Structure formats: structure tokens, C-alpha cells
Structure 1
Amino acid sequence: MRITCPNCGTRDRREFYYLGDALALDRPAEDAGLGAWDDYLHSRDNPAGETRDLWCHEAGCGAWLIVERNTVTHAVHKATLAEKVKR
């Protein structure tokens, strides 16, 4: 699998570190309550197909990316710097 880093260009996925579903960026408010925080920390889907994932270009520029990809075909559709994504 190849991922195109917006800073460094197309690289092998071994340069990147997978950090999970991009939903991790959608943190509950500090006062959201224990149920919301429990759900945020422990409830994750594991879909087959299209996903939005959080990756770090660890062996490169160190940027955090939102990678849109298909887990069945391994096709990578888009990679965006996480800091530029509206939440």
C-alpha cells in the first residue's frame, strides 16, 4: 500500500504508523459525562470498506494525516494533513 503524504509525496505504508479511526479526533467535551467518554474510549467499529483513519508519517516529516482508504481493496483515495481537517 502506498500513501501520499502532502509534505513528502508518495511513500510506502511502512513509513507510516496507523493510529486508528479518525473519529479519535472527535473528542467529547470535558463535561460530557462518563458515558460519552466510555463510548469514545472503548467503542470502535471495524468496517470492511471505506474508512477515514489517522496515520502518522513517523519515518518522514512526522505529520499526522487523515487517510481515506478502502480496507478491502487497499486503495488509498486521499490523504490530508489532520490539522487542515474541519471537525
Structure 2
Amino acid sequence: MKLLNCPMNGVRPLSEFLFGGEYREMPDPDVSDDYEWAGYVHYRDNAPGVKKEWWYHGPSGTWFIAERNTLTDEVLRTYLFGKGPAPSGQADMSQTAGTEQSK
């Protein structure tokens, strides 16, 4: 069974989660032109590698960020938006993110 770490509830089955798309910084609306907004809304890089993604945990109603290697499907860490990943050397609940087990 594939598992994913919810920052609020710990490791849970992947069936409890919904993918929300790639996380990208929104351009500043006060200085952005139509071309920049069109790129933000419509353009996706879609190259393999480490991406920040939105994920939703249904049972808890929690949106969070997962850093995932799209080439290997390895989840490197998960954290709540605005909190950021734990600084290096500190405990991070996401250390178990991306765990895969067979039952």
C-alpha cells in the first residue's frame, strides 16, 4: 500500500489524499502584465524532477505542500503551507513521507 505523510495526522494511505497540482508562486498583481498572468495560469513546465505540489487530506480537510520527485515518485517531505519545511537538523514529521509498504 502506498502511504503519504499528512503534516497534521502522520502517515496515511494514499487513498485519503487528492492531488491539487503543482505549487507555483503567484505573480504580483500590482506589477504583472497580461503575458505574465497568462504564463502563470496556463503554462506548466512538466519536466521530471523535484516539484512542490499541493495535496489535500480528505478526512482532516488539510491542504499542504509535498516536495516530490516526479521521476522516481519519491516524496522528500511534506509541510503545511506558510510553515515551510523544518530547518536542517530539527525533527521533521515528513521524514516518513513517501513510504511504500506491501500488505
Higher helix proportion (structure 1 or 2): 1
Q: Which residue of 2 aligns with 1:41?
A: 41
Map of 1:7-86 to 2, 5 A cutoff?
7-23=8-24, 26-31=25-30, 32-58=32-58, 60-85=59-84
Spell out structure 1 runs of 4+ moving beyond 3 A. none
Q: For the residues of structure 2 that align with 1:2 and 1:84, how far apart are their CA atoms?
A: 22
Structure whose alpha-carbon radius of gyration is higher: 2
Structure 1 gaps of 5+ residues are none
Output the TM-score relative to the length of structure 2.
0.71
* Identical aligned residues as a percent: 35
